[in-house]
A and B are shown apart, each in its own frame.
Chain A
Amino acid sequence: TQLLEQSPQFLSIQEGENLTVYCNSSSVFSSLQWYRQEPGEGPVLLVTVVTGGEVKKLKRLTFQFGDARKDSSLHITAAQPGDTGLYLCAGARAGGTSYGKLTFGQGTILTVHP
């Protein structure tokens, strides 16, 4: 079973602080996605990384895919209350029995206090 270990599970910080969420696996993924989910809604795609070592930036969010494509991180600079939500990493493997299947981490519940 391919697992994605996401940490930390909970993060409570003050506005303006920086934070990093980690996503680790013993399996190689062809791509890794990060989602943000609001209560009662579906996950919204933030970014997809596909190349080992790739770094993508989305305003104050920086995403990195590990060189071996087994791990990823999400770094938020100067967090704002609007960043509050559930952050999920999800890995995809190519072809065969992996069609359409994303393996999700358990998620990180981020709360940013004003």
Chain B
Amino acid sequence: KAGVTQTPRYLIKTRGQQVTLSCSPISGHRSVSWYQQTPGQGLQFLFEYFSETQRNKGNFPGRFSGRQFSNSRSEMNVSTLELGDSALYLCASSPSSPNRGLVWRFGPGTRLTVT
């Protein structure tokens, strides 16, 4: 079974630009969560989608948004990029809604560098 895939793997953007990152969950997984990982803050929860609905959101500004499609693929968008947005963005998928965290599988991440 293929794992979680994320594209692109690496991205360099300039301050003020916007970026869209993509995540394809494991086949059959309907829940997708996004995390930002930085050396200073570690892994921080961005948001979670299930059946095309955002069910939970972390403490990030409105510049961070996401969506999920009917095939469970998800995208996240960051507008008006700031230097502090440079990070590894990870998505994780899970087959069902119960939040016992039993089978969260992470993708390899997208390394975003903002210059």
Q: Mask for B11-51, Cβ within 8 A of A = 1, else 0? A: 00000000000000000000111010000001111011110
* A22 shortest CB reach to chain B, Å: 16
B111 at the interface (CB under 8 A from A): yes
A-B contact count (CB 8 A): 94
Q: How large is the interface on A (under 10, 10 to 19, 20 to 34, 35 or more residues)?
A: 20 to 34
Q: Which residue of B lies closest to A94 (CB)?
A: B99
Provide the bound-state CA to CA distance between A17 and B110, in Å: 35
**Which residues of B (80-115) have their CB < 8 Å from a CB of A?**
88, 90, 92, 94, 97-109, 111
13 A-B pairs with C-beta separation under 8 A: A41-B108, A42-B108, A43-B106, A45-B106, A48-B100, A48-B101, A50-B102, A90-B101, A100-B56, A100-B99, A101-B33, A102-B43, A106-B42
Interface residues of A (CB under 8 A from B): 30-33, 35, 40-45, 48, 50, 88, 90-95, 97-107
Interface residues of B (CB under 8 A from A): 4, 31-33, 35, 42-45, 47-50, 55-56, 58, 88, 90, 92, 94, 97-109, 111
